[in-house]
Amino acid sequence: MAPVDPTPAPAAPQPNPAGAAGFERVRAALAARGHAHAPRWLDVAARTSQQAADALGVALGQIAKSVVFRRLADDAAVVVIASGDRRIDEQRLAALAGPVGRADAAFVRERTGFAIGGVSPVALAGAPLLFIDRELLRFDAIWAAAGHPNGVFRLTPAELQALTGAPLADVVQQA
C-alpha cells in the first residue's frame, strides 16, 4: 500500500480577485514553466508562516517563506526562501551576500513587485540575489506565497530550485 500524502490537493485555478495582480503574475509564470500546481486562493490572508500553515493544515516548516533583506554595500535586494519554522541568521547570510539590513515595506514592494506577506519566489520584479535555505529539504511538499497574502502554491524543494535557479545555502539559526 502506497503512503498517503497528507498535503491538501491544490484547488482548481480561481479567477483573479480584484487587486491581486501579483497573484495573476505568479499564476502566469507557473503556467509558462509547466508547474503542475496552480496557485490557490485562501479564504483568509496568510501574512505569516503560521497563518499559512494553519490555513493549509500543514506543518509550519512546510511554509517556504520569502524574507527580503537590503544589502548595505549596493542597496540590492536579497531574498531568502526559508522554512517557516526557522529564523534567518543574518551573519550566515552576510557571509554569502555581504552585510545586510532589514528591508521596509516600500523597499520590498519596489524590489520584488510584491507586498510583504505575499512575496513569491517566482515572478519577482528585478533580479534580487536569491537563496534557498537547505532546511526546506526536510519536506516532500512545501507551500510558497503566490504574489498576495491570500495566494499560495504547492511545490517540492527540487521544483523550487528549478523554478528559481537559486542555490541551496545554510542561512538559518541552528536549532
User: Residues in the chain, how many?
Assistant: 175
Answer for the pair 65, 114: CB distance below 8 angstroms, yes or no: no
Angle, vertex CA 167, rays to CA 20 and CA 33, nearest 5? 45
| Residue 172: predicted pLDDT | 96
Reported as a single tens digit per residue, the pLDDT across 148-172 is 999 999 999 999 999 999 999 999 9
Correct CATH for 42-169 of 3.90.960.10, 1.10.569.10, 3.40.50.2000, 3.90.230.10: 3.90.960.10
Distances (CA, A) of 62 to 4, 72, 102, 110, 175: 17, 30, 24, 27, 16
Distance of CA 33 to the CA centre of its chain: 17
| 41 three-class SS | strand
> Domain coordinates of the chain in residue numbers?
42-169
CA torsion, points 7, 53, 37, 116, in degrees to nearest 10? -170
Q: Which three cell numbers stand for residue 149?
A: 497574502
Q: How confident is residue 126, by pLDDT bands cut at 50, 70 and 90?
A: confident
Query: In this structure, are residues 134 and 174 in contact, taking their beta carbons and an 8 Å threshold?
Result: no
Mean pLDDT of all residues in the chain? Answer: 90
Q: Which is it for strands 40-41 and 151-155: parallel, antiparallel or unpaired?
A: antiparallel
Q: What is the pLDDT of residues 9-57, one digit of tens each?
A: 444 444 445 558 999 999 999 999 999 999 999 999 999 999 999 999 9
pLDDT at 1: 42
**Three-class secondary structure of residue 138 per DSSP:** helix
CB atoms within 10 A of CB 56: 18
Please state, for a pLDDT cut of 90, what percent of the chain lies above it.
85
Distance of CA 125 to the CA centre of its chain: 14
pTM exceeds cut of 0.85:
yes
